[in-house]
Amino acid sequence: MRTEKPLTRSSQDYLEAILNLSEREQNVRITDLANHLQVTKPSATGMVKAMSRQGLLQHDKYGPIQLTEEGAKQAHLVRQRHRALKDFLVHLLGVPHKTAEKEACLMEHSISMDTSERLYLFLQENLTK
């Protein structure tokens, strides 16, 4: 079930979206996911299917979507990177929220967890102003 294949940018986006949605809804549905990510339902269906095969999530036909333990772990890491980046953009660079959200979404796939942690520490030291 487990795959050693590195996560694609899109997979990471899907993982993060499922994590965020699952904290607000009992069941994450394909339509929710598609709307959230601004893709069509067939696209979401296809990606969910692929990610299910990779052991990142559990999804029965027509049923709700649930992250596996591994999927949830990876989702949390993506979100961690996202938050550090967004905080930096908003609070240190003064980027408007919407722009920062969008750019953090793109950047989160581009940095290592090491860099993310360094950024987090940097923010700790510099957000005391």
Measured between alpha carbons, how far is 129 from 124 in angstroms, rounded to an integer?
10
Binding at 114: pick from a copy of itself, DNA, none (beta carbon under 5-8 Å per type): a copy of itself
| Burial (CB count within 10 angstroms: exposed 0-12, middle 13-18, buried 19+), residue 39 | middle
Exactly one of 66, 68, 95, 101 binds a copy of itself (CB under 8 A); that residue is: 95
| Positions 11 through 30 that interact with DNA (CB under 7 A) | 11, 13, 29-30
- Per CB under 8 A, contacts with a copy of itself among 61-90 are 89
**Counts of helices then strands in the chain (DSSP H, E):** 6, 2
Least distance in angstroms from the C-beta of 15 to DNA: 11
